[in-house]
């Protein structure tokens, strides 16, 4: 799927067909030259759950160069993934540089987002070499939509 702009575009624009939990999509694939592209937008789910997607893609190398995935419910950010390296944090070494920002066990009364920003866990399901959206959608289905 990361082999060409056309293949990835077909993949992105058919997500809602493959995942019935996706209620709406604003995702767009933007060509950035002959071998580069970008994906921007959101996937919407029941209960006000939204997955915001930012990807920078290199189709010649067949890889994701950069990503940011944020999951929210209404105005509340629940968690996000990014590849910002944190080489001095040994707890993240197993999936370096991929990690997930999650709420702390004891939320800060002053700034919940600040607590999430500094509370990171490894992200074994995230990669530069394959599409991440199936993992993210399935995580939302499993953890947020099943009650």
Give first-to-last CA distance, the chain, whole Å: 32
Tell me: the pLDDT tens digits for 35-44? Answer: 999 999 999 9
Q: Which H or E run contains 24?
A: strand 24-25
pLDDT for residue 7 = 95
* Residues 64-100 pLDDT 10s: 999 999 999 999 999 999 999 988 889 999 999 999 9
pLDDT for the residue 1? 81
Which among 90, 41, 71 has a CA at the least distance from the CA of 82? 71
Strands, E assignment, 33-144: 36-44, 49-58, 63-73, 76-82, 99-101, 120-122
Provide the token pair at 140.
């939302």
| Between 119 and 147, the higher pLDDT residue | 119
Q: What are the pLDDT digits (tens) for 94-136?
A: 999 999 999 886 555 554 545 677 789 999 999 999 999 999 9
Give the C-alpha distances (Å, rounded to integers) separating 40 from 16, 37, 109, 132: 16, 10, 32, 14
Question: What SS3 class is residue 71?
Answer: strand
Take residue 96 and report the two structure tokens written for it: 């370096």
**Residue that wins the pLDDT comparison between 23 and 117:** 23
Contacts of 70 (CB under 8 A, 6+ apart): 51, 52, 77, 79, 80, 81
Q: Using alpha carbons only, give the angle 25, 26, 31 rounded to the nearest 5 degrees.
A: 120
Alpha-carbon Rg for the chain, nearest whole angstrom, is 16
């Amino acid at each position: 799927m990361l082999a060409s702009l056309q293949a990835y575009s077909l993949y992105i624009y058919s997500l809602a067909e493959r995942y019935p939990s996706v209620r709406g999509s604003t995702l767009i694939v933007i060509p950035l030259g002959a071998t580069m592209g970008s994906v921007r937008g959101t996937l919407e789910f029941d209960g006000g759950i939204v997955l915001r997607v930012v990807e920078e893609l290199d189709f010649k190398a067949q890889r994701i160069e950069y990503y940011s995935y944020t999951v929210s419910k209404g105005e509340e950010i629940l968690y996000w993934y990014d590849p910002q390296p944190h080489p001095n944090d040994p707890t993240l070494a197993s999936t370096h540089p991929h990690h997930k920002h999650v709420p702390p066990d004891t939320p800060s009364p002053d700034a919940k987002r600040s607590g999430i920003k500094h509370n990171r866990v490894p992200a074994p399901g995230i990669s530069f070499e394959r599409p991440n959206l199936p993992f993210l959608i399935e995580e939302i289905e499993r953890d947020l939509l099943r009650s």
